[in-house]
Every structure is written in C-alpha cells, then in structure tokens.
C-alpha cells in the first residue's frame, strides 16, 4: 500500500532565505531541483503551462549546495 504524505513547512512570518547556487531539472521535466547558499535543497513542480510552485524544502546541509546530480537506477 502506497501512502502519500503532504509535507508541511512551519516558520515565522518570513520564509527562510534561498539564494540559488545550483539548479537541475528532472528527465520528465516536471520537477526543478535547486540548491542554495544556505545549505537547503528545494523541489519545485513545473506545470505544462510553465508555472512553478514549491513542493518540498530539505534542510540539513551545513555548507552551501554548489552542485546537484541525478542518481542512476
């Protein structure tokens, strides 16, 4: 059974800074991945109308994310 869980980000009135230092698009061209100077990785949905909306933000790196790479199957 595959269960989907909606990610929820909680912070104050101001979202964390995300100065993009790396960018990658998935092979299906539906998700953009960005790395930031602040050490975050963000996933963004890209619609067929080329509208971008945030999907997930991942925290944990202690240094800037300066490159992104796809894992092989």
Across the chain, mean pLDDT equals 83
Q: Which residue range forms the structural domain that includes residue 46? A: 24-63
User: What sign does the CA torsion over 71, 28, 19, 7 have?
Assistant: negative
The mean per-residue pLDDT over the stretch 22-40 comes to 92
Specify the number of domains making up the chain. 1
Residue 27 vs residues 19, 38, 55: alpha-carbon distances, Å: 24, 26, 17
The mean per-residue pLDDT over the stretch 25-40 comes to 92
pLDDT grade, residue 72 (50/70/90)? confident
Q: Establish if 5 belongs to a structural domain.
A: no
Q: Establish if 48 belongs to a structural domain.
A: yes
Q: Establish if 8 belongs to a structural domain.
A: no
Q: Is 12 helix (H, G, I), strand (E, B) or coil?
A: coil
Q: Establish if 17 belongs to a structural domain.
A: no
């Amino acid at each position: 059974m595959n269960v989907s869980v909606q990610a929820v980000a909680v912070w104050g009135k101001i979202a964390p800074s995300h100065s993009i230092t790396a960018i990658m698009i998935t092979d299906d061209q539906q998700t953009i991945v960005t790395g930031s100077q602040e050490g975050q990785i963000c996933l963004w949905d890209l619609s067929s109308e080329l509208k971008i909306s945030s999907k997930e933000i991942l925290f944990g790196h202690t240094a800037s994310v300066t490159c992104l790479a796809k894992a092989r199957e």
